[in-house]
Chains A and B, each alone.
Chain A
Amino acid sequence: MMKSTEVFSAKEFSDMENIRARYQEPASAILPLLHYVQGAQGHLSEQALTFVAEFIGVPHVRTFEVATYYTMLFTEPVGRHLVQVCRNLSCHVNGAEEVLQGLKRELGIDVGATTPDRVFTLVEVECIGACDHAPAMMIDGDLHRSVTVDSVSRILNSYREKP
């Protein structure tokens, strides 16, 4: 069994213990725990996935399955800011494609990649529930509505200096 100190700070570990304690079945804590680690460490490393699996008594592959299933969980380190562009129907017909092209151009990377300065990671997502203001995108926790190719650069710039 892995030691927590190999992957987590004392604070992280105690938070995780609290999360686990909320559930009668430790295994039920899988998603909240992974979500927590994603937030705390920016991604789910192999060691983190191994530890969480052992922490709640499930086979290792189980945390990997969950981590790769959800779009908000990452097994590779991502940039400081996560740009999620909606590609679903409403956004698509309202010009999501152009917005995406604009983002790619502006950041100089492809979908799924991270800028060399590790500031931005660009991903596509399905409907984020903002169809009434399509095309929409999310950066970290912020929703950006009715995005246009021209607004892309300004929006990105407002994040460059943010931690």
Chain B
Amino acid sequence: MMVRLTIDGRQIMVDGHVNVLDAASKLGIHIPTFCHQARLSDLGACRMCLVEVEGMGKLQTACTLAVNDGMVVRTDTPRVEKARRMMLEFLLINHPLECTVCDASGECTLQDLAFKHGSAETRFKGKKRILRDHIISPLIDRNLNRCIQCKRCVRVCEEIQGVTALGMSYRGAATVVGPFMDKSLDCEYCSHCIWSCPVGAITSRAMKHKVRTWEMEKSEAICPYCSCGCTLSYNYRDNVVYRVTHAEGRGLNMGSLCSKGFFGYDVINHPDRITAPMVRDADGVLRRTTWQSALEEVARNMKRISRESGGKAVGGIASDRLTNEDLYLFQKLMRMVFSSNNVDTPSGLWSRTVVPVLEKRMGVRAATNSLDDLNYTDALLIVGCDITVANPISGLKVKQAIRRGGLVTEVNPGKTALSRLARRSLAVPVGKELALVKGLIKVILEEGLYDSETLGKYGKFSELEFSVRDKSLKEIARETDCSVDEITQTAREFAGAKKASIIFGETAVLQAGGEKVLEAVIDLLVLTGKLGQEGCGLYPILSGTNFQGALDMGVSPNWLPGHAAVSSDSERKRVEKAWNGKVPKDGGKSAYEMIQAAAAGKLKALYLAGVNPLATFPGGEDLEKALKKMEFLVVQELFLTDTAKLADVVLPATSLAEKNGTLTNVERRVQKTSKAIDGLGHSLPDWKIFSDLGVACGEEGMNYLNSSEVMDEIASVVPFYSGINHQILADNGLQWPFSRDDAREVYHEGYLGTRHLLPEGLSKDKQFFAAVPVWETHSADSKYPMTLVLGDLLFHSGSFTRYSESLNQLAAQATLLMNPQTGMGLDVQDGSSVRAVSTQGEFTVTVSYSEDIAPGMLFLPRHFKNAPVSALMIPGPDDQARTAIVHVRVVKA
């Protein structure tokens, strides 16, 4: 219902559900506030927003007052002005006037409002309240005396982050904001409380007393740390990024960030950045040199080896952290200039496992729906994915759904940050996820909860029924460590929900036989008709920032840009025509195969862009041996990593803050990221290095003026990127497929592109069930009986963030997590040292007991030097690779 009201003599029609504050802001009338914040519940605590309402004796708080038809409001009377001055005077009784040393100075609401409405004099003569305070965290600073008790930090921590680490304790003038028992903060370090605090009571210690807020310029960019693709704002001065701030209301994250996005910026101006090219001299020492000589060295050797030993003897692996422009030029360089299809990225294994199944079953090669849908989901099934770690802001959307009453069921080998909030959290042993999903299918079939339209199309479900016949629900429950009731309820909720989706991740799919889990998941979606509409779909979630872009750009041994098969003559021709150059005919090698070939002496030159195999690839010592054997190794990097130390040439690249380009997130959203500062020293953006190198090889087709030109070429080669250019992305992301003259192009809440794939449902040839006959993906081997889950931590993203001193303060060491029950069974104590042994190798690590991990399962974070998981992981070939789940034996060290 719309209502009409008058504010300061001006009339406005607004929705009857809004409050006076919002109505006023629609008229451009600014009412000062402290405790109000968009997205938070209304509290009405600070009384800064008082207004006069005709017919109401007392002044009213605009932030909590619902509009009424015919209401007459005044915000500009002497009485209102006097009230504002009084409220400020009250606050300033206790607020210390230390703007001179306060990091919030310049962006403090109290400072601004006191300047505007306050009085320079106080009538209060007593002593200011002084509260005992202490440091509550290495990264988050609290200053109790500056606190104005607006409770924004407390509310944001509970309502948005779902953590509730902060509370208001004690009472009256002694009220303080702080953690449980006023101890140190033990939380997700999402930074929301820093963002929310209107004064300088909660600030970032990472930038404490380093720079004044008004000295910095701001520029928006995309976060480099995961595939969610959040918009953030770099704040910089003199070519130094001093902090990241939240871009209020912007991006798919609406400004929200996670610990990595907010605190991880200190890698940018890290003192260890390499800032000049280096070439190994005759004495075997890496020496700084000019770009020209470094590029000539690379061009000469790569061309020579490619000429002498053939394109198959050279290869390249690029990080999925690079931009689309970087990645596109990388594979173009490798294919066209060095005649090799040996191109891959570390996320290639995921793409080769997941994408073929998506393609076969649904004809798609990415998530079908938008992350935004997650906010409104009624039922969500999460299989083998800790969404709060893999994609923290997507996790936030799931938390919002839960607050709205959405029913979330997790199927993970342990508890996650979501477990406390979710409807249920099923700790299913790795390998048994399949049984659980089939159990859900069984309930749906038996209770007739399937989608009638699907039934109409398929006639009957006999194959599917047959595949779930040989086990009773009781047996399924026993095998999955769940109860029959939990399985039944989950199935009913999922089938009965209007909007229901499934998220799955690495733990489910990157295990032996993991594609079967995916097949069963798709069967479940099809059976319940939860596809092809808003709120119903499938989200494959890998955390690598631009893993989708890397696939789209053809950084793959078998796929050209646009997911075109290398083996297809017509596709190759099409790309060759666009490039005016040659694309080799034979498929190339995956990263694993390249390392194998290197070990066998068949691959002689390797180009690594932004990857540090020694820290992240499986293979342990064998890997190191293979790399050392290379005749020519180029490493393009930000830091002199262990791998870079082995290189013949090291090329200094820039971070994402120092370049323009685009990234494609986990929901197919192509977003522009913009340069904040100039490249440090002589470092150059990756695309520029590839371009210069192509030119140094005498290839004019590799000459580009800027990354925008590269995008124009991408748009002409990748069909579903057609029409995309940097201008169109200036303000908004865009979800592919997109084409300017495509009728499906929709403009929705500021976003362009296709929000939901499969609007017409599955095509005729896809209308079948996989009806997976088996019940488990794999079973334990008696020699290696424990299942080790290798995963990420909330506070780190690959090995890259290990350069962030801030994030290292939150997590610097890896420990092997195990349930106390498992520990007792193995006779290993909490804190003791054990050897973890897989078929591949072993290492020693400290044990931490944790109730969060299911009995019989182990968890170890990757990317920590003290636990080089590379030694345990089994590198490949693809179908045998074990990079997320490894079977091990644990023995006392």
Q: Does B180 contact A (CB under 8 A)?
A: yes
A94 contacts the other chain (CB 8 A)? no
B420 to chain A, nearest CB (A): 8
Interface window among B130-138, B159-167, B672-680:
B159-167
Choose, from B168-176, B259-267, B489-497, B762-770, the stretch at the interface. Answer: B168-176
Q: Is the CB of A61 within 8 A of B170?
A: no
A68's partner among B163, B164, B166, B171 (CB-CB below 8 A) is B171
In the complex, the chain A residue whose C-beta lies closest to that of B179 is A61
CB pair B171–A61 under 8 Å, yes or no, is: no
B486 contacts A by Cβ under 8 Å: no
Q: A53-65, CB under 8 A of B: which get 1 and which 0?
A: 0000001111011
Asked if B181 is an interface residue, CB under 8 A from chain A, the answer is yes
A59 to B164, CA, bound (A): 6
Contact between A49 and B181 (Cβ–Cβ < 8 Å)? yes
A residues 64-113 in Cβ contact with B at 8 Å: 64-65, 68-69, 75
Q: Which residue of A lies closest to B158 (CB)?
A: A59
A64–B164 touching, CB < 8 Å: no
Given A61-B179, A61-B180, A69:B169 Cβ within 8 A: yes
What are the residues of chain B within 8 A of A75 when measuring CB–CB? Answer: 181
Does residue A1 face the partner (Cβ distance < 8 Å to B)? yes
Q: How far is the CA of A1 from the CA of B425 in the complex (A)?
A: 15
Say yes or no: is A46 at the interface (Cβ < 8 Å to chain B): yes
Alpha-carbon distance between A152 and B181 when the two chains are bound, in angstroms: 35
Q: Is the CB of B170 within 8 A of A68?
A: yes
**Contacts of B169 on A, CB cut-off 8 Å?**
61, 64-65, 68-69
Is the CB–CB distance between B166 and A61 below 8 Å? yes
Rounded to whole Å, the gap between the CB of B181 and the closest CB of chain A is 5
Residues of A within 8 A of B164 (CB): 59, 61-62
> Quick one: CB contact mask for B403-435 with A, threshold 8 Å, 1 for yes?
000000000000000000000000000000000
B165 surroundings in chain A (CB, below 8 A)? 59, 61
The answer to the question of B107 belonging to the interface, with a C-beta cut-off of 8 Å to chain A, is no
B851 at the interface (CB under 8 A from A): yes
Instruction: List, in ascending order, chain A residues with CB within 8 A of B179's CB.
Output: 61
A64 to B179, CA, bound (A): 9
CB contacts (< 8 Å) of B170 on chain A: these are: 68-69
Residues A60 and B171 in contact, CB atoms below 8 Å apart: no
Which A residues lie within 8 Å of B171 (CB)? 68-69
Main secondary structure of the interface of A (DSSP, over half): helix
Q: Provide the residues of chain B in CB contact with A59, threshold 8 Å.
A: 158, 163-165, 167
Interface positions of A from 19 to 65, Cβ below 8 Å from B: 46, 49-50, 59-62, 64-65
Query: In the bound complex, what is the Cα–Cα distance between A75 and B851 (angstroms)?
Result: 27
B166: A residues at CB distance < 8 A: 61
- Chain A interface residue count, Cβ-Cβ cutoff 8 angstroms: 13
CA–CA, A61 and B166, complex, Å:
7
In the bound complex, what is the Cα–Cα distance between A75 and B164 (angstroms)? 20
For B138-171 the 0/1 string (1 means CB < 8 A from A) is 0000000000000000000010000111111111
Q: In the bound complex, how far is the Cα of B181 from the Cα of A46, in angstroms? A: 7
Interface members, chain B 817-858 (any A CB < 8 Å): 851
- Closest CB in chain A relative to B425 CB, distance in Å: 13
Residues of B within 8 A of A61 (CB): 164-167, 169, 179-180
Report the Cα distance A60→B182, complex, angstroms.
Answer: 11
Complex contacts, B168 vs chain A, CB 8 Å: 65
Is B180's CB under 8 angstroms from A64's CB? yes
* Shortest Cβ distance from residue B131 to the other chain A in the assembled complex, whole angstroms: 13
Across the two chains, which residue of chain A brings its CB closest to B163? A59
Most chain B CB inside 10 Å of its own CB: which residue of A59, A61, A64, A69: A61
Closest Cβ neighbor of B183 among chain A residues: A46
CB distance from B180 to the nearest CB of A (A): 4
Which A-chain residue is minimally distant from B166 (CB atoms)? A61
- With A59-B164, A69-B170, A69-B171 known to touch, is A64 a contact of B158 (CB < 8 Å)? no
Return the CB mask of A105-140 against B: 1 if under 8 Å, else 0: 000000000000000000000000000000000000
Bound: A60/B165 CA distance, A: 8
Which one, A1, A46, A50, A64, contacts B167 given CB within 8 A? A64
Chain B residue nearest to A46 in the complex (CB): B181
Give B187 Cβ to nearest chain A Cβ, in Å: 10
Chain B residues contacting A64 (CB-CB under 8 Å) are 167, 169, 180-182
Closest to A64 in B: B180
- Interface residues in B753-783 by Cβ distance below 8 A to A read none
A62 touches B181 (CB 8 A): no
Inter-chain CA distance A59–B169, complex, in Å, is 14
Contacts of B180 in A (CB 8 A): 49-50, 60-61, 64
Chain B residue at smallest Cβ distance from A53: B180
CA of A64 to CA of B181, assembled, Å: 6
A65 B181 Cβ-Cβ under 8 A: no
Q: State the CA gap A35–B128 with chains docked (Å).
A: 34
A75 CA to B178 CA in the complex, in Å?
Answer: 15
Q: Which of B165, B169, B182 has the most CB of A within 10 A?
A: B169
Who on chain A is nearest to B170 by CB?
A68
Q: Which residues of A contact B182 (CB under 8 A)?
A: 64
A61 to B169, CA, bound (A): 9
State the Cβ distance, A73 to closest chain B Cβ, in Å.
11
Of all chain B residues, the one with the shortest Cβ separation from A45 is B181
Q: Which residue of A lies closest to B174 (CB)?
A: A68
Most chain-B CB neighbours within 10 Å: which of A1, A50, A59?
A59
Which residue of B is nearest A62, CB measured? B167
Smallest CB gap from A75: residue in B: B181
CB distance from B79 to the nearest CB of A (A): 30
Residues of B within 8 A of A50 (CB): 180
Report B610 CB to chain A, min CB distance, Å. Answer: 40
- Report the minimum CB–CB distance from A45 to chain B (whole Å): 10
Across the two chains, which residue of chain A brings its CB closest to B181?
A46
- Pick from A1, A60, A68: contact of B851, CB below 8 A: A1
For A46, A49, A68, A69, which residue has the most chain B Cβ atoms within 10 angstroms?
A68
**Contact digits for B258-276, partner A, Cβ 8 Å, 1 yes 0 no:** 0000000000000000000
> Which of chain B's residues have a CB closer than 8 A to the CB of A46?
181
Who on chain B is nearest to A61 by CB? B167
For B181, what are the chain A residues with a Cβ–Cβ distance below 8 Å?
A: 46, 49, 64, 75
Contacts beyond the supplied A61-B164, A68-B170: 11 A-B pairs with Cβ under 8 Å: A49-B180, A49-B181, A59-B163, A61-B166, A61-B167, A61-B169, A61-B179, A62-B164, A64-B167, A64-B169, A64-B180
Q: Residues of B with Cβ closer than 8 Å to A?
A: 158, 163-171, 179-182, 851
| Contacts A/B (CB < 8 Å), 18 sampled | A1-B851, A49-B181, A50-B180, A59-B158, A59-B163, A60-B180, A61-B164, A61-B165, A61-B179, A61-B180, A62-B164, A62-B167, A64-B167, A64-B181, A64-B182, A65-B169, A68-B170, A69-B171
